[in-house]
Structures are given as C-alpha cells and as structure tokens.
Amino acid sequence: MNQPLIKFIDLDPNVIAAETTLRASASDVYALVANPARHAELDGGTTIRGLNKGSDGEFAEGDTFSQNMVLGIPYTLPMKVTRAEKNSGVTWVHPGKHTWSWDITDNHDGTVTVRETFDARGSVIAGIPVYKIYHLLGSFRANRKNIALSLANLHRIFACN
C-alpha cells in the first residue's frame, strides 16, 4: 500500500472527508464503527467518554444513542442513525443536523478503504444555517485534525488484530 496514510477529499467547503486504506475486513471495520459503545476507541478528538444510552452492538437505521462527551465541560450528546448498511457504512445525525459518516469499501485484496465524513451542509438551528458559526468557532479546523487522528486510530486498532 504505497499511498498516503490519510488522504483528504475536497467535496464542499462545509464538508470534511478523509480516507485511508488498511488491512482489515469490511465486516470487522463495520463492527467497530457501527457499535456506539466502541466510538471512544476511534475518537481522534478525545471528546467521547463512553456510551450513555443505546446499544452496545451494531445499530440499525432509526436507532438512537447518546455519548458522554467532554469539551471543556461534560455533556451528553444524543444522535440518530440515518443509515446503517451492513459492512458498507453508517451515518448518524447530531441535534444541530450535521452528520458523521463512515463508509467502507472492500478492495477484495485483504484491504478496505475507509472514509470518515463530517457534513455540516444541513446544519440548521431554528431554521438558520449554522455552518458559518462552525467555521468561526474553528470546528472545521478541529474536525479535520480529529478525522485524521480517528483514521490513524483505525490503523492502530487493526494492526493489533
């Protein structure tokens, strides 16, 4: 695999996406990203402290879960799963309507390509788009770094298997 560990994908100014290729099966990666009880293992931003409410197994479309978080102060963040495609990918939406997605592509050579995406295009509070606020607060810059760290965490997790 002679390619960069993490490759950022330019999609839209209000979307951050990066991907990596690693030696793992699509089913093993899916089992990790589709299990909210394991999200703290992936979290490059180290804000997730653990599952507050929800399944400790794979979730399905329509499921809800909440994570215990810390960003200066502790809080709980509820999310709703909007896509759960077995061994292919998951998406969940935050209360502010931005989404996080994990997409898994089986390369049929013992590797998978995994893309993590933060999409703020749908971020609206009281009918007002808030992606501009995310830019002003530095959320895009922080999320870009955290996505790279999350994908690096994937490599560490699967290097041990």
- In tens, the pLDDT along 99-158 reads 999 999 999 999 999 999 999 999 988 878 888 888 898 989 999 999 999 999 999 999
- In tens, the pLDDT along 27-45 reads 999 999 999 989 889 988 8
**Cα–Cα distance measured from residue 147 to residue 80, given in angstroms and rounded to the nearest whole number:** 20
Residue 4 has pLDDT above 60, yes or no: no
pLDDT at residue 90, rounded to an integer: 97
CA nearest to 47, candidates 128, 143, 160: 143
pLDDT interval class at 24 (50, 70, 90): very high
- In tens, the pLDDT along 40-93 reads 899 888 888 877 787 777 888 999 988 888 988 998 889 999 999 999 999 999
**What is the value of pTM for the model shown?**
0.91
AA identity, residue 133: I
Encoded tokens for 90: 């998951």
Task: Work out the end-to-end distance of the chain between its first and last CA atoms, rounded to an integer number of angstroms.
Answer: 18
pLDDT at residue 59, rounded to an integer: 85
CATH number of 7-159: 3.30.530.20
Q: Where are the domains of the chain?
A: 7-159
Mean pLDDT of the chain: 90
pLDDT at residue 33, rounded to an integer: 94
**Cα–Cα distance measured from residue 13 to residue 45, given in angstroms and rounded to the nearest whole number:** 21
